[in-house]
């Protein structure tokens, strides 16, 4: 034979099939972040509109996703993953810090990741709400993951003698609700405060949950001799 046919490489324009698939998926998610997070919103977006915004076809959409709900689900997880990566990095950088320093650094990293792009807040705190039982289960599962993270920090602080030894799960769950509500309201312009002030307040709440209560102060005797007891009236 004069030559031998080479096996197809599966590459087109220098990219493999897997790379092209990942790029299409990224383009759909980028377009969804804009349309769901800053445009008409998830409920008012169509597959055709999303495909046009991504510069792709509806056929390519259905090669990557089954429904628009799948896109919202993936986007919600992505927003949470960005915030979690920031928190994990901050935790690693403050491994030897005090509880107050560590809590402030971790929470500032979370707030910065979530509020860096207002579209992320809308995806995480607004668009995901009430869509379907499936997405509600996903939302609560990710919230439980944040609760687990706070409880792990609390357990480590207890071991160092910096936090009160108790079950922190209920308090952590309530704190996560405060975080979501306050950051959403701040982003919507309903809270007259800077982001630093909002974060400082939330850090104070977190430390109040974790730190052991101060022992009550014992009353001190007044200076000088104690006054005599009043005389008992004659009867």
The whole-number pLDDT of residue 88 equals 93
φ, ψ of residue 67 in degrees (nearest 5): -145, 170
Contacts of 67 (CB under 8 A, 6+ apart): none
Per-residue pLDDT of the chain (235 residues; tens, 9 = 90+): 444 334 344 555 567 888 889 999 999 999 999 999 999 999 999 999 999 999 999 999 999 999 999 999 999 999 999 999 999 999 999 988 988 899 899 989 999 998 889 899 999 999 999 999 999 999 999 999 999 999 998 899 899 888 888 889 999 999 999 998 898 899 889 999 998 999 899 999 988 888 765 655 665 555 555 555 555 555 4
The whole-number pLDDT of residue 161 equals 87
The whole-number pLDDT of residue 209 equals 84
Element (H, E) at 140: helix 133-159
The whole-number pLDDT of residue 1 equals 40
16 three-state secondary structure: strand
Nearest to 172 by CA among 215, 207, 199, 214: 207
Q: What is the pTM of this model?
A: 0.80
Q: Write a three-state SS string for 151-212.
A: HHHHHHHHHCCCCCCCCCHHHHHHHHHHHHHHHHHHHCCCCCCCHHHHHHHHHHHHHHHHCC
Element (H, E) at 12: strand 11-12
pLDDT tens per residue, range 107-132 = 899 999 988 898 999 999 999 999 99
């Amino acid at each position: 034979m004069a030559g031998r046919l080479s096996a197809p490489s599966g590459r087109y324009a220098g990219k493999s099939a897997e790379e092209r698939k990942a790029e299409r998926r990224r383009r759909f998610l980028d377009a969804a972040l804009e349309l769901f997070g800053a445009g008409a919103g998830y409920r008012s977006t169509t597959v055709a509109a999303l495909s046009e915004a991504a510069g792709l076809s509806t056929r390519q959409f259905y090669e990557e996703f089954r429904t628009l709900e799948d896109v919202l689900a993936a986007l919600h997880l992505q927003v949470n993953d960005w915030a979690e990566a920031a928190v994990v990095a901050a935790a690693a950088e403050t491994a030897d810090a005090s509880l107050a320093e560590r809590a402030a650094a971790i929470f500032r990293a979370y707030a910065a990741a979530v509020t860096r792009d207002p579209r992320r807040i809308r995806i995480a705190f607004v668009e995901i709400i009430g869509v379907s039982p499936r997405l509600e289960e996903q939302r609560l599962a990710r919230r439980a993951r944040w609760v687990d993270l706070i409880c792990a920090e609390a357990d480590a602080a207890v071991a160092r003698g910096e936090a009160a030894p108790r079950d922190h799960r209920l308090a952590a769950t309530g704190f996560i609700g405060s975080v979501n509500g306050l950051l959403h309201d701040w982003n919507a312009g309903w809270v007259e405060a800077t982001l630093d002030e909002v974060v400082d307040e939330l850090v104070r709440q977190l430390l109040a949950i974790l730190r052991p209560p101060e022992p009550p102060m014992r009353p001190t005797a007044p200076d000088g001799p104690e006054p005599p007891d009043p005389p008992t009236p004659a009867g």
